[in-house]
Structure 1
Amino acid sequence: MTDGHENAGYRQLFDTDRLTFGTGFPLTRRSESRPPVDEEMELAAHAESVGFDALWARDVPLYWPRFGDAGQTFDTWPWLSHVAAHTSEIALGTASVVLPLRHPLHVAKSAASVDRLSDGRLVMGVATGDRDPEFPAFDVDAETRGEAFREHVDVLRTVWREDFPELDSQWGSLEGELDLVPKPTTETIPLLPTGHARQSVEWIGEHGDGWFFYHLPMDTLESYLADWRDAGGEKPYAMAVRTELADDSDAGPEPIHLGYRAGSEWFAEYFRELEDLGVDHVLVSTAGDEPERELTRFAEDVIERV
C-alpha cells in the first residue's frame, strides 16, 4: 500500500462514497490548433461551478496528424498551472504523462511545482505512450518503454519522498549532494498508471495509487474490476468514457468510439451501474458547438441524478 499520496486532488476524487466526474481539455473541442485560452479558462471555472470534480489535461509532446489530435496543444505543466490560477478546488489531472519520453527529474520538479501552486490538487495519470513516431524523435527505444516506465516511477517516488536522495538510473545518478525542490504537498503525488502501461495488473496494484483505464463493454469491465480488486484491494478505479448527450432525454444508447451517444435517462442509469460495480471516477466528454451549455446540461441532467 502506497502511503502519503492522498493530497487534496486525490481526496476530491476518491475520498467519497459516490462516483465522481471529470472532463478533459480542450473544453472548446479544438484538438488540432491552439484553443482560445481565455475561453478555456472560463469553461474550466464553469465546469467547477456546475459540479465537475476534475479537469484532465493531455500530454502530447508532438503533434502527429495521423493520430488525429494534439490534446490542448500547450505543454501539460504550464497549462495546469494556468488552470489552477482560474479555479479553486477542482482536482487537476494528467491523462496521461508519457513517462518514457520525459526525464524523470523534469517530471518530478514540474509536477511538484503544479501540486504546490494548486494547493495539492494534482493527480497524475501516467502512461508509456502510443504515438510511434515520438519515440525516435526523442531517441527512445520503444521496445524498452515498459522497463523505463517502472524505473521512472521509482525515481519519482524517491526524489519526492527523500531529501538529498541517492539513486542510480538510466537517466543519471544522484549521490546525496542535490535535492529536488519543491517537494509536493504530500509524501508523493498520486500516480495512476493508465491502461496496462506494459505492466501486469499485479505490478500496478502494488506500485500505483489507483488504476486509470479506458471504456470497456460491461461484461469485460466486470472482469477487469474483479482482477483489480484482487491486485489493488481498495485502491480506486477510474475510467474514461466518451459521452455525447442527445437532445432527446429518453434516447437509447448508440455506440461511438470509446463510449456512447444517448439521452440523459440512459446515461444516469449507466453511471449508477458503474458506481454499483465499484468504479470510483469517470472522465467524460461533452460535445457540441455550445460547450458551456453542454457542461451545464451534463451536470444537471446526469451528474446530479447519479
Structure 2
Amino acid sequence: MSSALLPDKIHNPIYRLNQHPGYRRLFAPQELTIGLIMPLETHPGRPAPTMADHASMALRADKLGFAALWLRDVPFYDPTYGDVAQIFDPIAYIGYLAGVTQNITLGTAGIVLPLREPLLLAKQIASLDHLSAGRMVLGISSGDRPADYPLFGVDFDSRGDRFREAYTVFRTVTEERFPVHDSPRFGRLNGQFELIPKPVVDRSPTIAVGQAQQSLEWIAQNLDGLIRAAPDPDYLPIIAEQWKAAVERIQGSSHFKPLGVGAFLDLADNADAPLRRMPGGFRAGRRSLIGLLEAVKSVGINHFALNPKASRRPYIEVMDELAADVLPLFPTH
C-alpha cells in the first residue's frame, strides 16, 4: 500500500492546498475561473432533468476547459421547492464522473453536513480524492430546506451546532493519525483506529457553501474558502470586502482564502441583451455577462459557478458559447 494511502507520519500542519490539483485549478489570487452547476441540461419549468447524455456532456465540459462541475445535495423531491438538482446522489455521482473525466475539478455545492455521518463522509471524500487523482473539492452547507430535517430525525434549529461538530470530526479523522476525539452526536475516537486513505495532500479542501449558520470569522478560521449566492451586482464589492476583512482578521493580510459566487443563468440568443436579475441569478446576453464577470473579478471574487438549467436555449449551445467567448477571458488555471 502506498504511503499516500497509509502515511507513515502525521500530516505536516502547514497545509499544501496549492498542491492539490482540484483546488489549484479553481483558485488563485486576483483571478476568476468559471464552473458549471449540475445538471448539464436545461429544464426550465420542470423539477427534474432527464439526465440524457449526462456523461458525454460532462466529458464535453472537461474538454472545453471549464474549471469545475458542482453537484448539489438534494436527497428527496419536495414539490414545495420543485427541484431535485442532478437526481443522482453527489457522492456516488462524483465517483462515476471521476472515471469519465480527466482534468475538471469535481465539487459538491454543498453536502448538507448536519445530515451526514462525518466518519463515513470522511472515508468517502478521501476515497474520491484519490480515485479522481486529487480533483475532489468538498463544498459543505447547513441546508436551506426545513422539511428535510424531520426525515432524518434531526432538529432543524440545531443545524448550526451540528455543522460545527460534524466538521470537527471530519477534520480530525482525515488529518490526524489514530485520533482521539469525543463527539456528543457523532461518536468517540479512542486512538485505536485509523482512517485509510488520508487525503491526497495534507487535507481535503473544504469550502463553505453559504454561511452554514456560522460567522464569517469562523469560516475564515476553519474552512478553505466560501461560495455565496450571487447578489445584486451593486452588492458585489460589499460581500468581497466582508470576506477579505474576515480573512485578514483571522489569518493576516497576506493569507489567501478564495471567495466564489453561484447563480442561475439564462443566456440570451442576442449577445447584446442587457443584464437583468431573475430569482437566484441573471438573464444576460454574452457581452453583458462578460461585463458582470469582469466586475466580479475586479472586486476580488475568484470563482463563478453558473447554473444554466433555467436557460431557454439548448444546454449544448449555452456551453459552447461560454467556452468560445467567455472562458478565454477567464481561463482555468
Tell me the equivalent position of 2:37. 24
SS of the residue 1:302 aligns to: helix
Structure 2 residue identity aligned to 1:151: E
Higher normalized contact order (CA 8 Å, seq sep 6+, divided by chain length): 2
Structure 2 residue identity aligned to 1:277: V
- Aligned partners of 2:42 and 2:314 also within 8 Å: no
Aligned length: 305
Tell me the equivalent position of 1:247. 269
Larger displacement relative to structure 2 (21-30 or 238-247): 21-30
> For 1:121 and 1:16, how far apart are their aligned partners in 2?
19
* Residue 107 (1) aligns with residue 131 (2): no
Q: Deviations over 1:98-150 (max 9, x none)?
A: 00001101111111111110011011111001111211111111111101111
Q: CA deviation at 1:75?
A: 1.1
Q: Deviations over 1:208-257 (max 9, x none)?
A: 10111001113322112111111124210011022111111111112211
- Aligned partners of 2:73 and 2:85 also within 8 Å: yes
> For 1:128 and 1:89, how far apart are their aligned partners in 2?
29
Tell me the equivalent position of 2:191. 176
Tell me the equivalent position of 1:285. 307
Change (3 A) 1:162 1:110: same
Tell me the equivalent position of 1:267. 289
Q: Deviations over 1:73-109 (max 9, x none)?
A: 1111110011111111110010000000011011111
> For 1:114 and 1:47, how far apart are their aligned partners in 2?
20
* Residue 80 (1) aligns with residue 94 (2): yes
- Aligned partners of 1:23 and 1:56 also within 8 Å: yes
TM-score by length of 1: 0.95
- Aligned partners of 1:210 and 1:232 also within 8 Å: no
SS of the residue 2:328 aligns to: helix
Where does structure 1 differ by over 6 angstroms across 4 or more consecutive aligned residues? none
> For 1:156 and 1:10, how far apart are their aligned partners in 2?
18
> For 2:307 and 2:147, how far apart are their aligned partners in 1?
27
Structure 1: which 5+ residue stretches go unaligned? none
CA RMSD of aligned residues (A): 1.7
- Aligned partners of 1:52 and 1:90 also within 8 Å: yes
Larger displacement relative to structure 2 (108-117 or 283-292): 283-292
> For 1:289 and 1:268, how far apart are their aligned partners in 2?
18
Q: CA deviation at 1:303?
A: 2.2
% identical aligned pairs: 36
> For 1:15 and 1:252, how far apart are their aligned partners in 2?
29
Q: 2:257 aligns with which of 217, 235, 238?
A: 235
Tell me the equivalent position of 2:236. 221
SS of the residue 2:110 aligns to: strand
Structure 2 residue identity aligned to 1:215: A
> For 2:14 and 2:286, how far apart are their aligned partners in 1?
37
Q: 2:15 aligns with which of 3, 28, 42?
A: 3
Q: Deviations over 1:27-75 (max 9, x none)?
A: 12457446436x1110011111112110001111222121111111111
> For 2:17 and 2:326, how far apart are their aligned partners in 1?
30
* Residue 148 (1) aligns with residue 162 (2): yes
